[in-house]
Structures are given as structure tokens and as C-alpha cells.
A and B are shown apart, each in its own frame.
Chain A
Amino acid sequence: MKELGHHFPILLAEDNPVSRKLLERMALKAGHEIASVENGRKALELFRETFFPIVLPDWTMPEMDGPQLCRAIRKNASPG
């Protein structure tokens, strides 16, 4: 795995437990901190409490999918 020289906290939203655990492992191995949740709604709640420079959303998830999460984060982050 290529070392980029910077480590970032990552917020992962992934409903599949296998994919979630795999991505957690890979991020930790690369030296990143990672918080993972199983749907977009939980990711948005966490994002509102803590800023994450990187958010990795799955596309299809229950309750709130990836595109909905991205729109909500952009709305959340926009000024005013």
C-alpha cells in the first residue's frame, strides 16, 4: 500500500459488515483513524458532532444512502 505521508480521520458508512471490517482494517494499517457506522443517518449524526476530512459512504444503505448523505453533508457544511 502506498504511503502518502499524511494520516486523516475517516468516517466510513457501510452497511455490509464484511466490507466495513475490511475497510476498517485497511485504513488502520495505513495509519488512519477510522470511525465506522452502518448507514448514512448515523454517519450524518456523527459528522455533525465531529468534523471528518474524509467521508467514505457506500452507495446503497438502509435509512439514508450514500448520495443522500453527501447532499446532507454539503448542506451542513455550506455557509449560513
Chain B
Amino acid sequence: MNRQKNTGNTVDFTQLAGNLGLEEEEYLELIELFVETGMSDLGKLQSAIKEGDAEKAANAAHSLKGASSNLGLMELYEAAKKIEEEARNDRLEGIVESAQGLKEKLGKIAEHLRTCWKTGRNERIGAPFPHIVS
């Protein structure tokens, strides 16, 4: 079984799990939690942008930044870091597009995880993220 061969996705969960000294299944459970909390943070970020609340936007991005960094998801980390910096400097205008980019990146991680569960753990088919499964 090779879980990292997924449609155009460069994230290698097997390698990232190994970097942390974790079994792949343990890592996938963390990714599942990450997607769930990440979607929540993203919702907070988007509502903060609408409300013009720079501090709330920065805090939401900070949360995503920390979690993605700890899991080795560096592309997400860089995107969240940039948004946090912009928000800390009270520059919310440019964040709207960046937040959309972050959402797409998070969606790719969720999709990649779904594929991993389907190919590696049949019992999880259809069950991992009821709130985001299309």
C-alpha cells in the first residue's frame, strides 16, 4: 500500500509521520483533528475579516500556524504565518484572497486524508469528515 500517491498532492503523510516518530495511523488521526479544528479556525478567520477584527483574525491564523507547523505541513504554515503577520499589522484588505488560498490548501489536506482512509482503512469510508465530505 502506498498512501502518498494521490492526485497531484505533494504532501507525504508517511514521511511526515516518520519525521515525528509516529506510526502513520497515529499521524492520520492527528491530521483528522487538524482538519476539524482548522476548518473551525478558518471560519473564525473569515468572520473576523468580515467584522474587520484584526486581532481575532490574527489569533485564528496563529492557531492554524502552530498546528500546521507541528505536523510538518509547511505550505499551510507559511500561508497562515503570512496572514497572521498581515493581521497583526492591521492590514485586513489583502487577507481575503490569502484566506481563500488557505481554505483550498486545507481542503487538499482533507481530500488527501480521505483517500488515505479509503485505501488504508476501509472501515473509515464515508465517515471521516461528515461536515466537509462532498
Chain A residues packing against B (C-beta within 8 Å)? 1, 16-19, 21-22, 25-26, 29, 60
Contact = CB atoms under 8 A, between A and B. Distances in A.
Interface in B20-75: 20-22, 26, 30, 33-34, 37, 62-63, 66-67, 70-71
Interface residues of B, number: 14
A29 B30 CA distance: 15
A58 to B, nearest CB: 8
B22 A17 contact: no
A17 B62 CA distance: 13
A26 B21 contact: yes
Contact of A16 (B20, B26, B67): B67
Question: Which residue, A16, A18, A25, A60, has most C-beta atoms of chain B within 10 A?
Answer: A18
A26 B20 contact: yes
22 contacts: A16-B37, A16-B66, A18-B30, A18-B33, A18-B70, A18-B71, A19-B66, A19-B67, A19-B70, A21-B30, A21-B33, A22-B20, A22-B30, A22-B70, A22-B71, A25-B22, A25-B26, A25-B30, A26-B20, A26-B21, A29-B22, A60-B62
A5 to B, nearest CB: 17
